[in-house]
Amino acid sequence: MSNNVSLYILLAPMLLSLVGLLPSRWANRNPALTGNLCHRAAVAALLVSILAAVLRQMLPDQAFSGRALELPFGATVFSIDVFYNSVTMMLMMLVSFVGMVVSRYSIRYLQGDPNQGRFFKWLSLTLASILSLIASGNLIMFMTAWVATSLCLHQLLMFYDNRPTAVLAAHKKFVASRIGDVCLIAAIVLIGSSLHTFEFSQIFHAMAARGDELPIALKLASFLVVLSAALKSAQFPLHGWLIQVIEAPTPVSALLHAGIVNAGAFLVIRMSPILSRSPAALGLLAAIGLATLALASLVMLTQTSIKVSLAWSTVAQMGFMLLECGLGLYSLAMLHLVAHSLYKAHAFLASGSGVDFFRAPQIAYSPSGFRPGRLLLSLGISAMMTSSIGHVFGLTPGQQPALLATSAIVAIAVSQLLLQAANMDRTPSFLLRALGISFLACTAYFALHDMFARLLQDSALPVHSTGAFQYAMAALVVIFFLFLLVLQHIFRNAKGRAWEATYVHLYNGLYVDVYITRMLQKFWPVPQTIQA
Amino acid sequence: MYSEKISRETDHSEFKHDSALNIDDLIDSACSRIAPLWPLKHFVAVNPFFGLIDHTFQDASDTLARVIGSSLYMPRSYYLEQLESGRITDQDIEQAIRACGSSKSQENVRHALYLPAPMPNMGMASVSEVLDRVEGGIWTRFVMERISLHCAAYFDLGQALFAYPWKGKTLYQSWLKAASIDNSAAMMGLAEFKKNVAKLTEAPRAAIAWAVSKLGIPEVAIERYLHASLLGIGGWASWARYLRWQAELKGGGDDSLIDLLAIRLVWDVLLFEEKKSAALIARWRDMLASSMRDPSEKRRASAELDRIMLNAMEIGFQRTIISGIRSPKDFEKEKIRPSVQAAFCIDVRSELFRRALETVAPSAKTVGFAGFFGIFIEYVPLGAKSGNSHVPVIFNPAYKIHEEVRGAKQAEEERRRRIRIALSKTWKIFKLSASSCFSFVESAGFLYVTKLLSDSFGWTRPVPDPLRQGLDKSTIERTGPSLSARSDFPASGIPEQDRVDHAERILRAMSMTGNFARLVLLAGHGSSTVNNPHATGLDCGACAGQTGEASARVVAALLNLPEVRSGLKSRGIAIPEDTWFIAGLHDTCTDELTLFEAESVPQSLSEDLAQLRQWLEQAGDLSRMQRATLLGLSGVTDRGVESDVRRRSRDWSEVRPEWGLAGNAAFIAAPRFRTAGLDLEGRAFLHEYDWREDREFKILELIMTAPMVVANWINMQYYGSVVDNQHFGSGNKVLHNIVGGAIGVLEGNGGDLRVGLPLQSLHDGRQWVHEPLRLSVFIEAPRGAIEDIIGRHEIVRNLVNNGWIHLFQVDSPSGEISKWHPGHRWEMSAVEDRISAFEAAA
């Protein structure tokens, strides 16, 4: 039974890779057919994932995580098997859903492009690789799918290989990915040699049973995993490629931002049995995440083109997601991963609609500038709202500092909403509506968090100890968000040299990417004359 | 003419004094070469060669070749394809050779076509381009990126949420400030850049003069160099030119364009100073020297060949039209009262629909007129703080018209809409701002599951319809423009004392002064598409990139007023008691025509109305079937085509919702009977004009200076976007990235702002759907009247004498046609040629 069910899940990537096996030339001659095949394979993958989720309700987890298919050669080294838990279930559905939407979109969007067939071929292969990555039951298969995803995506990023900027961005991504690969391979070797297994299920059990301090090899491995995740999720300072790969067609951006860039958090959650025992590695992850989100969320506000703003927004969101991972809040990170994917896929696909906001009636409103009293009032209201709704869902003051910090972030967000509303219209009927929306958003947040916490109960090993570091980190996060809130309101009317300098440095993303581009151009030059 | 100006200045004894005077002229002259770019929120067509029409077509092409290495002709391979497919015939070539005054033989031409064309010039290269050739670096892109980023920040209409720190300063001043802080150049290895910026003059014109002398540009080449520098950042230059255009319309001025030129040149100098090497200097001098050489004999011969091939294609197109216009006409029909009259915009898409309507309703009469129907309004949407102009972009609106809800309290309706929009804006800020975007994702991100699905299936729009946002469905049906002033805005509406004047002027301009039908339809047009940055480019150009709904409704309402009717009667226009004007909107994407306020049509006309509705539906079917082949739907059933165009109008992934004005190539100002029954394939702008009704040829003057010029703008926008999409088009739609909120698009993650049309609006993936042909204008009016207008208007003179359009005169009542040649010469023979060839072929 278990073998059959596991095999059945692998149907999803297998169908897609069948489409990917079509030769490019044939595909280009039959773009409509290839597109339809790709779309149908993605729909089938979604159905498979949904059915698997339904089956799981009827069968215990263990039934899914057995070895499904051994290769005749070197069975102990490489096997194809499935590790199925809530994380697998949700991500399979997410990626096949996004794949379905993106493939459907590309049928019309790229119509007439001489390479449309080839596009669908690589789209199918990319989707197949991600689905295999998600389903992987062991580290070797995971690693293979990890690299395959990156290489297939590379083909999509190079879709317009006559554009120097596209090639440059793809090169940048390629370099970052290969560094990440090296880190991951080293981590896997260390884990395999320490725990004598590559199977996720066995790693999970082995670590759950261990009580002692981690051996140095696993400690090292956990740092390597953190680095690899940070590289995959475009964290500072190697974030530049994510900004620039909008040189590929819009659906590629949608897929990348919704289904690939978040693999960093997926890696961390899969490796949580080891990482949860390595507070230093998690601390590093949290620090990278916080630094990235701090920078990127500010840069995002200065950007002037819609896709570049969206890309910076993703960098920031990935930072936040990894921060949550680093704080041991795996269920929140998972919630963030899924919700962000859906939001960002839509944002990219709908990015052509930006002009409509400027065509809509521009209404008169009287912004009242920064009022400290109003800020405090809105913070007070939102804190009360958040804590009472949180209380209904079981949040108590004595809980993990990290959890309290994230609740504080929600409160700050709600007060931003209220402040914005008060800035637009100060009639009671309007403010009441804004309060109503805040209440709904707040409730949705805690309800979803509660749901994800239940779902992920058995999918990730929690962090045991809460040290001083966690308290410090949580405090830092809250302070930073308060700072953001105030900043947004005072910089509307800010003057002076310091503000000018801040603006210029932020607008240019702190120049990191200019330097990296220059270095890359030195070692891996892109011919400038290929543009037709 | 410019060489003259410069040669006066080459006397070195007075160099300093003169060059100071001179450089300002040269700067202004270079700036005037740039065509404006309208923002995406109301995108209208512009002739990208607008600043070159004082050159002949060939001279403009040569100038572009020397400035940016571009050309006004298609590549050889394109003309060869046309020849091989039979689109260009031997006779076409034969006649084109004669028309061009060439001594080549037809065999010569055919043979030469297979030889490789000379390589394009480098043009006047910037320092960065020359440096790239020396170093193999990425300087050009880097400099472009720096300037483009600065312009985007400075001009931003609302994409960035952080306030720009130098609001109120000029573009150049703000650049000086930003560049003295920006470390990007240092990161690229230009260690001295910031220090050098601090030493620059604050006056942009002085900076330009300084740069020109630093770079050692010879005087004869200065204007070309300035022109090249502007085209090097041509998109933003066009935007700056637009700002100047708008300011001048309001009686002011705007010097952002000069600022931009200064920034571009200063970059050149600072780069040159810091990267100076023997190789760079040598290459730089080399570039300057070669850019000053006159085109070689080989190039000139090649240009002649291009000219012949373009003319050959145009002659082939003109032949069918000429023969159609000359064929015998049925004048008798004019005297019978039509069952219905329907006025449409001159837009080429109307031609197709009008023909379809006339086919299903032979007793109907259609009329072509600029889609704003001659009423100069600014239209303020319900609840908005400001309105949009609905008049051609060369005019200012005269009246402010408010959108109102019939039978409701306006203040209440406005308040309701404002609250809804404010709420959605608040939510948007919650989604986007730094401190709340993370919580937004976790609390509301899941909503996008349904949104992704419903948008994919076209059930919903990715964002609310800008024209209907915040309105209930039942309210939308009751909204419309109101002619009367609002109590809270006394300056709104059209004052009663002006109404009869406008009604008379409009009817006369439409040549609609008698024989009115019982029902007269005024149909504006718009296109319903979603997720399309260039959507407004498909709307009505005569209404400044808005739909024609408001204008049509205002004019219909005006002409239905009893006091206007009686006023018109006293001025000799008697509209029968039983005549009613009804407004409509032609959706050019779906070919559906919506009628407005049909419930106010008098009961006595209910049968006429029902009949009209039926005809419009049938006409829609017929025009969709005609468009089917171009939409790639040949062989599909009526219903299939209908459902596919509906899908196109709602599909967020559709990059070719309709073909817009692709194919446009002719402009005909004549009574409809001249062209009735001719299949003009949706390629002609049709303007109703009867010169016998035109006292003093005032209307002809208007037609030749406004609609004809606008048609030339549209025609050249398509032309430029096809022949050189890199410079005058906006590239690949799937890479478009909206910049500055609603300014324009970038292609990919950066580079220059793009102008013109996307490739997807011109090319179906296999071939060009738009044939790049210059506009052929046919006017039925006495020669003397036409000549008089040519003589009095420089812009018309430039267009017809410099070969930017072909002008033909249609004689009345014979329908004989002659072609205008520069130097006051009308020529029948060229036309005769065309006809005999046509008859021989048939």
Residue B595's pLDDT is: 97
Tokens of A478: 């809250």
Angle at Cα B651 formed by Cα B650 and Cα B652, nearest 5°?
115
**Residue (of B782, B416, B47) closest to A430 by Cα position:** B416
User: How many whole angstroms separate alpha carbon A320 and alpha carbon A323?
Assistant: 5
Tokens of B430: 């919650």
State which of A89-103, A273-287, A452-466, A472-486 shows the largest mean pLDDT. Answer: A89-103
Residue B525's pLDDT is: 97
Question: B278-337 pLDDT, tens per residue?
Answer: 999 999 999 998 888 877 888 888 889 999 999 999 999 999 999 999 888 777 777 789
Interval B105-114 mean pLDDT: 89
Chain A residues in contact with B659 (beta carbon < 8 A): none
Tokens of B748: 């990919």
Residue B827's pLDDT is: 85
Using CB atoms, pick whichever of A346, A357, A504 lies closest to residue B451: A346
Q: Say if the Cβ atoms of B443 and A445 lie within 8 Å.
A: yes
pTM: 0.94
Helix (H) or strand (E) holding A241, with range, is helix A240-244
Residue B11's pLDDT is: 37
B703 touches B690 (CB < 8 A): no
Report chain B's C-alpha Rg in angstroms.
28
Contact map slice: A 98-137 vs B, CB within 8 A: 101, 104-114
Average confidence score pLDDT of chain A: 89
- Cα-Cα end-to-end distance for chain A: 57
Q: Say if the Cβ atoms of A243 and B749 lie within 8 Å.
A: yes
Domains of chain A: which residue ranges? 1-136, 138-350, 368-493
Name A101's Cβ contacts closer than 8 Å, sequence gap at least 6. Answer: A254, A345, A349, B452, B453, B456
Residue B82 has pLDDT above 50, yes or no: yes
Residue A207's pLDDT is: 86
Contact map slice: A 391-450 vs B, CB within 8 A: 409-410, 412-414, 416-417, 420-421, 424-425, 429-430, 433-434, 437, 441-442, 444-445, 448-449
Comparing alpha-carbon positions, the chain B residue that sits nearest to A160 is B735
Comparing alpha-carbon positions, the chain A residue that sits nearest to B43 is A355
Residue B15's pLDDT is: 39
Residue B13's pLDDT is: 35
User: How many residue pairs from chains A and B have C-beta atoms closer than 8 A?
Assistant: 355
pLDDT band of A73, cuts 50, 70, 90: very low
Residue B301's pLDDT is: 85
Interval B565-585 mean pLDDT: 95
Tokens of B616: 């419009």
- State the smallest CA–CA distance between residue A28 and chain B in angstroms: 12
Residue A204's pLDDT is: 86
**More reliable by pLDDT, B383 or A1:** B383
pLDDT band of A60, cuts 50, 70, 90: low
Kindly provide the ipTM of the predicted complex, given to two decimals: 0.94
Report chain A's C-alpha Rg in angstroms.
24
B239 touches B157 (CB < 8 A): no
Q: Amino acid identity of B752?
A: D
pLDDT band of A70, cuts 50, 70, 90: low
Q: Say if the Cβ atoms of A356 and B419 lie within 8 Å.
A: no
Question: A207-216 pLDDT, tens per residue?
Answer: 888 766 788 9
User: How many whole angstroms separate alpha carbon B366 and alpha carbon B354?
Assistant: 6
Is B74 strand, coil or helix?
coil
Question: A379-388 pLDDT, tens per residue?
Answer: 999 999 999 9
**Residue (of B710, B500, B725, B682) closest to B591 by Cα position:** B682
A99 touches B456 (CB < 8 A): no
Q: Say if the Cβ atoms of B652 and A317 lie within 8 Å.
A: no
Sign of the four-CA dihedral A482, A486, A487, A489: positive
- State the smallest CA–CA distance between residue B82 and chain A in angstroms: 21
Contact map slice: A 12-71 vs B, CB within 8 A: none
Tokens of B211: 């740069």
User: How many whole angstroms separate alpha carbon B657 and alpha carbon B664?
Assistant: 17
Using CB atoms, pick whichever of B140, B188, B655 lies closest to residue A109: B655
Residue A1's pLDDT is: 34
Interval A69-90 mean pLDDT: 70
Using CB atoms, pick whichever of B417, B435, B445 lies closest to residue A343: B445
pLDDT band of B839, cuts 50, 70, 90: low
Q: Say if the Cβ atoms of B433 and A301 lie within 8 Å.
A: yes
Average confidence score pLDDT of chain B: 91
Percent of chain B with pLDDT over 70: 95
Using CB atoms, pick whichever of A307, A361, A424 lies closest to residue B383: A361
Q: Amino acid identity of B684?
A: A
Residue B7 has pLDDT above 70, yes or no: no
Helix-helix angle B234-249:B139-155, to 10 degrees: 30
Interval B140-169 mean pLDDT: 92
Comparing alpha-carbon positions, the chain A residue that sits nearest to B164 is A503
Which residues on adjacent β-strands are paired with residue B768?
A: B763
Residue A3's pLDDT is: 46
Question: B10-39 pLDDT, tens per residue?
Answer: 333 333 444 445 899 999 999 999 999 999
Residue B625's pLDDT is: 93
Chain B residues in contact with A441 (beta carbon < 8 A): 430, 439-440, 443-444
Residue B840's pLDDT is: 60
pLDDT band of A8, cuts 50, 70, 90: confident
User: How many whole angstroms separate alpha carbon B662 and alpha carbon B759?
Assistant: 11
Contact map slice: A 315-354 vs B, CB within 8 A: 316-317, 320, 332, 335-336, 338-343, 345-346, 349-354
Strands B377-380 and B388-389: antiparallel
Q: Say if the Cβ atoms of B653 and A106 lie within 8 Å.
A: yes
Name B332's Cβ contacts closer than 8 Å, sequence gap at least 6. Answer: none
Interval A292-306 mean pLDDT: 94
Question: A387-445 pLDDT, tens per residue?
Answer: 999 999 988 777 778 888 999 999 999 999 999 999 888 899 999 999 999 999 999 99
Q: Which residue has the tokens 């050019």?
A: B588
B321 touches B806 (CB < 8 A): no
Domains of chain B: which residue ranges? 2-32+136-289, 57-120+297-322, 335-660, 691-841
Q: Where are the beta strands (DSSP E) in A387-478?
A: none
**For residue B92, how far is the Cα from the chain centroid?**
30
Tokens of B465: 């319809």
pLDDT band of A199, cuts 50, 70, 90: confident
